[in-house]
């Protein structure tokens, strides 16, 4: 509950209800309770009605806690999916902080978020790109080793702006497409 409230989710309680084995949807039903209009009135809703971001953070809490507690790496595909960029920064701060990450846990993730792609959050050696060629074969490379011409990327470069401008590769090749014409020609 403290974690959910720390990330601005106003859930005040979680209730888990054990289901009969034959019932649909699994062995448990989860409900969340919210305070209404600064009163003591609580409204309980099925957890599946919470936003997908809230559901994702609820599910990932145990992974984050275990990784930070045990000093182990965790791998997450598309960490930024369904989460606000400031929440991503909050998560990264937990892993970068010596106060919360005393045992050296590592968060290794993929994302399309360019908001956190900057020198204030990452060193060049912490940023890796994946680029697919014309045959969809992927190549992984580090920003620390990447060269523009014969020069490595500077520590003070604008990583996010340069990435979106295509300076480092690893961006989609977008072709013009007439969706209205396609619809009309079905």
For residue 26, the model assigns a pLDDT of 67
- Helical spans, DSSP H, in 43-184: 52-70, 85-96, 159-164, 179-184
What residues in the chain have per-residue pLDDT under 70?
21-26, 185-186
Q: What's the CA gap between 15 and 62, in Å, rounded?
A: 17
pLDDT in tens, 83-131: 999 999 999 999 999 999 999 999 999 999 899 999 999 999 999 999 9
Cβ atoms of residues 109 and 76 within 8 Å: yes
Q: How far is CA 15 from the centre of its chain?
A: 26
């Amino acid at each position: 509950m403290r974690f959910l409230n720390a990330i601005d989710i106003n859930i005040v309680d979680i209730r888990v209800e054990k289901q009969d084995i034959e019932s649909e949807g699994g062995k448990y039903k989860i409900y969340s309770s919210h305070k209404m209009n600064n009163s003591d009135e609580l409204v309980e809703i099925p957890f599946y009605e919470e936003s997908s971001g809230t559901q994702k953070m609820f599910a990932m809490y145990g992974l984050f806690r275990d990784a930070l507690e045990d000093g182990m790496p965790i791998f997450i595909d598309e960490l930024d999916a369904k989460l606000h960029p400031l929440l991503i920064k909050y998560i990264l701060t937990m892993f970068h902080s010596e106060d919360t990450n005393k045992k050296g846990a590592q968060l290794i993730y993929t994302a399309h978020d360019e908001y956190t792609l900057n020198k204030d959050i990452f060193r060049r050696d912490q940023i890796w790109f994946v680029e697919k060629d014309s045959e969809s074969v992927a190549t992984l490379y580090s920003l620390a080793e990447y060269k523009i011409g014969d020069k490595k990327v500077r520590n003070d470069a604008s990583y996010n702006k340069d990435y979106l401008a295509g300076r480092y590769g690893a961006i989609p090749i977008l072709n013009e497409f007439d969706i209205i014409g396609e619809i009309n020609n079905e």
